[in-house]
Structures are given as structure tokens and as C-alpha cells.
């Protein structure tokens, strides 16, 4: 009987460790949809970390459209509404 009890305790502890590991904040690649070119793009974990550190929200445009938008703003010298 005592042996069984020990085995259960060990199992419980292992489960708890696993849960704690899963709770750690971790960025994963996400699939987002671009509102400009209407295609899906990957929002990489590294980018998410960068955006989070800058306090930015999730991008609504893919890298290509964002770059194009930035370029056109620079060209026109106008202040265009960003989002």
C-alpha cells in the first residue's frame, strides 16, 4: 500500500512540472491575414518578441505591403494614416 502511494506522488509531481513549463510565455509563429493583398503570412516568433517589446499590436499587413506602404509614404512625403 505504501509503495502505491509513493508512485502516485511521483506522478503528480511530474504532471505539475509539465504544467509549469507550458505556462511559460513563449512566442510561436502565427499565421496572419494581410488586409492589403489578402494573403496569409507568417508572423514569426522573433517579430512577435520585437513587437511586444515595442508595445506594438499585431500587424495587419504582410512584410511586403508594409515595406511598400513605407516606401510610398517616403516618396510622397505625406503623412498617411498607418492602420
Interface residues with Zn ion (CB under 5 A)?
Answer: 34, 36-37, 62, 65
CB of 42 to Zn ion, least distance (A): 12
CB of 32 to Zn ion, least distance (A): 10
Q: Which is nearer to Zn ion, 27 or 60 (CB)?
A: 60
Q: Which is nearer to Zn ion, 27 or 34 (CB)?
A: 34
Contacts (Cβ under 8 Å, ≥6 apart) of 46: 27
DSSP annotation string for 41-78: EEE-HHHHHHHHHHTPPPPSS-HHHHHHHHHHHHHHT-
Q: Which is nearer to Zn ion, 37 or 71 (CB)?
A: 37
End-to-end, the C-alpha distance of the chain in Å comes to 65
Amino acid at each position: 500500500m505504501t509503495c502505491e502511494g509513493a508512485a502516485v506522488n511521483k506522478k503528480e509531481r511530474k504532471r505539475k512540472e509539465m504544467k509549469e513549463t507550458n505556462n511559460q510565455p513563449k512566442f510561436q509563429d502565427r499565421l496572419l491575414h494581410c488586409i492589403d493583398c489578402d494573403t496569409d503570412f507568417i508572423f514569426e516568433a522573433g517579430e512577435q518578441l520585437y513587437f511586444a517589446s515595442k508595445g506594438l499590436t499585431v500587424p495587419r499587413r504582410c512584410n511586403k505591403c508594409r515595406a511598400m506602404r513605407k516606401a510610398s509614404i517616403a516618396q510622397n512625403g505625406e503623412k498617411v494614416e498607418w492602420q
